[in-house]
Amino acid sequence: MNGGPSGFHNAPVTRTFVIGSALLTIFVGIRGRPAFLELSYQDIFRKLQLWKLITSTFAFSSTPELIFGLYLLYYFRVFERQIGSNKYSVFILFSLIVTSLFEFLALALLKDPTLSILASGPYGLIFSSFVPFYFDIPVTTRFRIFGFRFSDKSFIYLAGLQLLLSSWKRSLLPGICGLVAGTLYRLNVLRIRRLKFPQFVTSVFSRLSWPSSGSSSSTRSSGNIIGSVPSFAGRQPEWNYPTSVPRASTAEPPEDSVSTLVSMGFDRNLARQALVQARNDVNMATNILLEMQLR
C-alpha cells in the first residue's frame, strides 16, 4: 500500500498544509515557546482569543507529534488525489471547524481540570482522514509478526495511535472529535460532499507551495477528480467517457500511472486497460473506472 507517486504530485493543498505546519511548529520551537499555541478552556470561553484558536490548529507542540503528524498528513494526500483539490479543501475546512466545535462542546460539558489545555496541531484533519482510510483504502498485503496478523494499513493505524495518545487526554479529545467530524463528512451531513471551492482558490496553493516535480500537472488537475473511491467521493464523474472507447495504442502504460490508480483501490488490470483507452491520461482513466463501477 502506498499513497500513489512519491512527493506531492497532484496534491498542492496538502503540500501547502504540510509545509506551513512544519514551519510554524519549528518557528515556535526555536523561540522556546511550544506551549504558546496550546489551547485552554479560558482562551476559548473567557478571553475569546480567536487568533490562538486558528494558529493552534496548524502547529504541533512537540517534535514526536510533529513527526507522526506530518507523516500521516503526507500519506493522506491520497484523498486529495481521489476527490480533487477543490473538494479536498472543503474537507479540510469542514474537518477543522467541526472538530473545534466539538472540542468547545466537550470542554464546556466535561469541565475536567485535567483537560484545561488541549494539544495543538491539525488533529481534526488527521483523524477525520482515518474515516475514509478505514472504509475506502483496500488492504493489499497481509503478514504475520510473532504470530500476530498485520496488514500494510497497520503502520498507519499505529502512527495514528501514537499521535492520539501522545499527550493522553489533551490529544485524545481532539482525536476523537476529529473522528466524529470525519464520520459526519462521510454521512454527507448538510450535503457537504457536494461542495467545492472555485478553481482559482486552489490554484493559489500551487503558487504558494514549493516547486516540485509535476507541479504544473497538479495545477491543471486540481479542479478535476483525480481518481476516487465512490463511497468517499459520493458523486458522479464530472465528465462521462464511454467504456467502449477503442484502444488507441497497445503500448504499456507507465508504471507510476498504474500505481496511482491501484493506490486508489482499482484493480491493476482494469487500471492498465483504462490507461490504454485514455491514452495514459490518469484523470480520464479514473473517470472511466468510476463510470464502470457506478453502472
| Structure confidence by residue, pLDDT tens digits, 35-71 | 556 666 565 656 556 667 777 888 898 889 999 999 9
The residues spanned by each domain of the chain are: 12-194, 245-295
Q: For 98-153, write each residue's pLDDT tens digit.
A: 998 998 888 888 877 777 788 889 999 999 999 999 998 878 788 999 889 999 89
The answer to whether 193 and 86 are in contact (CB under 8 A) is: no
Q: Which residue from 227, 279, 224 is spatially nearest to 254, judged by alpha carbons? A: 279
Q: Which pLDDT score is estimated for 239? A: 33
Confidence category of residue 228, pLDDT binned at 50, 70, 90 = very low
Average pLDDT, the chain: 78
Q: Which pLDDT score is estimated for 111? A: 78
Cα–Cα distances in Å, from 256 out to 79, 83, 259, 269, 281? Answer: 17, 19, 5, 14, 12
Mean pLDDT for 73-80 is 93
Q: How far apart are CA 289 and CA 240, in angstroms?
A: 11
Please provide the CATH number assigned to the domain covering 12-194. 1.20.1540.10
Fold held by 245-295:
Helicase, Ruva Protein; domain 3 (1.10.8)
Cα–Cα distances in Å, from 156 out to 121, 162, 192? Answer: 18, 10, 26
Residue 221 corresponds to which cell in the numbers above?
A: 488537475
The answer to whether 214 and 10 are in contact (CB under 8 A) is: yes
**Least confident piece of the model among 25-39, 107-121, 150-164, 279-293:** 25-39
Other Cβ atoms within 10 Å of 240 Cβ, number: 11
161 against 3, higher pLDDT: 161
| Torsion sign over Cα 188, 192, 195, 196 | negative
Q: Which pLDDT score is estimated for 42? A: 64
DSSP state of 280: T
Other Cβ atoms within 10 Å of 37 Cβ, number: 22
Owner of C-alpha cell 488492504: 139
The percent of residues above 90 in pLDDT, for the chain, comes to 33
The answer to whether the 12-194 and 245-295 domains have the same CATH topology is no
34 against 244, higher pLDDT: 34
2 against 86, higher pLDDT: 86
Q: Which pLDDT score is estimated for 289? A: 78
Residue 139 corresponds to which cell in the numbers above?
A: 488492504
Whether pTM exceeds 0.85: no
- Highest mean predicted confidence (pLDDT) among 4-13, 29-38, 142-151, 234-243: 142-151
- Highest mean predicted confidence (pLDDT) among 174-178, 192-196, 216-220: 174-178
pLDDT(79) > 60? yes
Going by C-beta distance under 8 Å and a sequence separation of 6 or more, which residues neighbour residue 83?
91, 225, 226, 228, 232, 233
Residue 97 corresponds to which cell in the numbers above?
A: 471547524
Q: Which pLDDT score is estimated for 233? A: 41
Confidence category of residue 171, pLDDT binned at 50, 70, 90 = very high
